Amino acid sequence: MIHFENVGLRYGMGPEVLRDLTFDIPKKSFQFLTGPSGAGKTTLMRLLFMSLHPTRGLIRMFDRDISSIGRDELPLLRRRIGIVFQDFRLLDHMTTYENVSLPLRVRGKDESTYRSDVIELLKWVGLGERINVLPPVLSGGEKQRVAIARALIDQPEILLADEPTGNVDPPMAQRLLSLFIELNRLGTAVVIATHDLTLMDKVDARRMILSEGRLDIYD
Ligand SMILES: Nc1ncnc2c1ncn2[C@@H]1O[C@H](COP(=O)(O)OP(=O)(O)OP(=O)(O)O)[C@@H](O)[C@H]1O
């Protein structure tokens, strides 16, 4: 589904942050992306979301060479990806419910077909009492869970989550992990960038380890 070949990335005239990355992310796979702070995890997530372009090498996403994808095509391709950014990127003028429903509304789905699913998912992530509030009054951990619910609600082909359990306590981290596992069981490829060793030890999943810009993979 995703193929990287000798991919390198530098910001401006700086040094190469990612070097010679060659790997595949198969359909329905589950992997953790880890490595020390500054190793390039967020940068790799941005490449996977096509919000950064490589400075060298080839990236194929959904069987398309990304260098041949026009700006006008990007939004449609991105709809196939669910993403949880480190800074959440919620829309402050929309309620929790509306933020989570957004991917479905954009697809033109009728609210009657998804309302109960959105509410059920919000309850599952512990936000049953926060359905009608606006993001500015939520805590960091609550915002993170809204961002996760929004990324999951439309069962994307791939889920990219950058430190998705960074702001929650261990029981909630476990609950979120089981949500990712269930999504994966339903067919979504999952990539979770994390420093959390306890979280990684709970799943027998592939580990992609970045160090000094290079990637090692342990299947
Ligand atoms: N917009 C940018 N311009 C210049 N350099 C950048 C930019 N974003 C990241 N970098 C540099 O690229 C390197 C990798 O950063 P990145 O944020 O991808 O690491 P990370 O592994 O996600 O770190 P952390 O675990 O702390 O979130 C770092 O040296 C960082 O300073």
Q: What is the ipTM of this complex?
A: 0.96
Bridge partners (DSSP) listed for residue 56: 8
Are the beta carbons of 139 and 62 closer than 8 angstroms?
no
State the average pLDDT over residues 126-141: 95
- Establish whether residue 170 lines the binding site of ligand 1, counting it when its CB lies within 6 angstroms of any ligand atom: no
- Whether residue 111 lies inside any domain: the answer is yes
Nearest atom of ligand 1 to the alpha carbon of 40: 18
What is the Å distance from ligand 1's center to 11 Cα?
A: 9
Please count the structural domains in the chain: 1
- Whether residue 139 lies inside any domain: the answer is yes
Query: Which stretches of the chain are DSSP H helices?
Result: 41-48, 74-78, 96-106, 111-124, 140-152, 170-185, 197-201
Domain, as residue range, for 118: 91-154
Q: Which two tokens stand for residue 166?
A: 């960074």
- Whether residue 114 lies inside any domain: the answer is yes
Using CB atoms within 10 Å of the CB of residue 98, give its burial: 0 to 12 exposed, 13 to 18 middle, 19+ buried: middle
Q: What pLDDT is attached to residue 197?
A: 86
- Establish whether residue 43 lines the binding site of ligand 1, counting it when its CB lies within 6 angstroms of any ligand atom: yes
Q: Quick: pLDDT tens for 56-73.
A: 999 999 999 999 998 899
Determine the angle formed by the axes of helices 111-124 and 140-152, rounding to 10 degrees. 140
- Whether residue 95 lies inside any domain: the answer is yes
- Establish whether residue 40 lines the binding site of ligand 1, counting it when its CB lies within 6 angstroms of any ligand atom: yes
State the average pLDDT over residues 155-173: 91
- Whether residue 4 lies inside any domain: the answer is no
Q: What pLDDT is attached to residue 172?
A: 86
Mean pLDDT score across all residues of the chain: 94
- Whether residue 173 lies inside any domain: the answer is no
- Whether residue 150 lies inside any domain: the answer is yes
- Whether residue 177 lies inside any domain: the answer is no
- Establish whether residue 41 lines the binding site of ligand 1, counting it when its CB lies within 6 angstroms of any ligand atom: yes
